[in-house]
Amino acid sequence: MHSIRSALLQAQAQLNSSPRLETVDARFESQLLLQHLLNAGRAWLIAHENDSLEDGMQARFEALVNRRVNGEPIAYILGSREFYGLNLTVTPATLIPRPDTEILVDTALAKILAGQHTQILDLGTGTGAIALAIAQQRPQAQVTGVDASRPALDVAISNSRQLHLANVHFTLSDWFNDLGNARFDVIVSNPPYIEETDAHLQQGDLRFEPLSALASGADGLDDIRRIIDGCLIHLKPQGWLMFEHGYNQAETVRELMAQTGLVNIETVRDFGGNDRVTIGKNPLIVSTHWD
Do 60 and 14 form a contact (C-beta atoms < 8 A)? no
The Cα 270–Cα 260 span in angstroms is 25
Residue range(s) occupied by CATH 1.10.8.10 in the chain: 2-71
Q: Coil, helix or strand for 197?
A: coil
Assign a CATH topology to domain 2-71: Helicase, Ruva Protein; domain 3 (1.10.8)
Does the pLDDT at position 291 exceed 60? no
Does the pLDDT at position 289 exceed 80? no
pLDDT digits (tens, 9 = 90+) for 9-48: 999 999 999 988 877 899 999 999 999 999 999 999 999 9
pLDDT digits (tens, 9 = 90+) for 62-110: 999 999 999 999 999 999 999 999 999 999 999 999 999 999 999 999 9
pLDDT digits (tens, 9 = 90+) for 223-282: 999 999 999 999 999 999 999 999 999 999 999 999 999 999 999 999 999 999 999 999
Residue range(s) occupied by CATH 3.40.50.150 in the chain: 95-281
What percent of the chain is predicted at pLDDT more than 70?
98
pTM: 0.93
Assign a CATH topology to domain 95-281: Rossmann fold (3.40.50)
Bridge-based pairing state of the strands 235-244 and 184-189 = parallel
Does the pLDDT at position 285 exceed 80? no
Do 175 and 123 form a contact (C-beta atoms < 8 A)? yes
The Cα 237–Cα 224 span in angstroms is 21
Pick from 141, 142, 118, 122: nearest CA to 130: 122
